[in-house]
């Protein structure tokens, strides 16, 4: 085994686009890879100190959309530019905000799958914890009423090579394939 030392290398990481409104109702989007499912109805996101962090504290809500192969440039952009530095960030981003159905936070027209979340707290370690109040998907990524991964075309973050990777074909059934070893 080759040792690489202390690295932030959970592999792979999701590409979470966090949507929020500021106190004046202006939308922001932020790319975050340090996050995941926390409890069955909760998500966690390690945000750090950003405009998004302040927005979520002000509004008590946020959305988590999943970046796609068709929006790599837009989704990368919202991770490297802060609305604190460029007031035109969202205009340049190419992402178009629309109000979420169940929380006071924006969804984005270009991102077809999202979780609408209420702020639970920033926990003892300063990590954002949110309660999922709805999962929503654009009709165009559904097949027979179910979310179709091939149509969603989500990406993940490879932290070793700082690359975005597509998802590929299905190779197994969870909670089922392992039965044959019992």
Closer residue to a second copy in complex, CB, 12/58: 12
58 or 72: whose CB is closer to a second copy?
A: 72
Shortest CB 76 distance to a second copy, Å? 3
Min dist. Cβ of residue 177 to a second copy (A): 4
Least CB distance to a second copy at residue 15 (A):
9
Which CB sits closer to a second copy, 23 or 86?
86
3-state secondary structure 60-83: CEEEEEECEHHHHHHHHHHHHCCC
Looking at beta carbons only, is 58 or 81 nearer to a second copy?
A: 81
Compute the distance between CA of residue 128 and CA of residue 133 in angstroms, rounded to an integer.
16
Q: Taking the CA of residue 96 as centre, how many other CA atoms within 13 Å lie in the half-sphere pointing to its CB? A: 3
What is the rounded CA–CA span in Å between residue 32 and residue 46?
8
Give the strand pairing for 35-39 and 27-32: unpaired
What CA–CA distance (Å, rounded) separates 3 from 15? 26
Shortest Å, Cβ 37 to a second copy: 4
Residue corresponding to tokens 């027979």: 144
């Amino acid at each position: 085994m080759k040792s690489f030392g202390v690295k932030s290398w959970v592999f792979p990481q999701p590409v979470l686009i966090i949507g929020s409104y500021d106190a004046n109702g202006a939308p922001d989007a932020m790319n975050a890879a340090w996050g995941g499912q926390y409890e069955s109805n909760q998500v966690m996101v390690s945000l750090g100190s950003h405009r998004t962090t302040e927005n979520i504290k002000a509004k008590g809500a946020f959305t988590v959309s999943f970046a796609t192969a068709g929006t790599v440039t837009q989704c990368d952009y919202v991770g490297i530019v802060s609305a604190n530095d460029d007031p035109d960030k969202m205009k340049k981003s190419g992402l178009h905000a629309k109000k979420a159905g169940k929380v006071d936070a924006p969804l984005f027209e270009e991102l077809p799958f999202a979780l609408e979340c209420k702020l639970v707290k920033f926990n003892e370690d300063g990590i954002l914890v949110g309660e999922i109040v709805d999962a929503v998907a654009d009709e165009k990524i559904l097949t027979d009423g179910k979310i179709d991964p091939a149509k969603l075309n989500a990406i993940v973050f490879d932290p070793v090579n700082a690359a975005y990777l597509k998802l590929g074909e299905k190779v197994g059934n969870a909670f089922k394939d392992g039965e044959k070893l019992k």
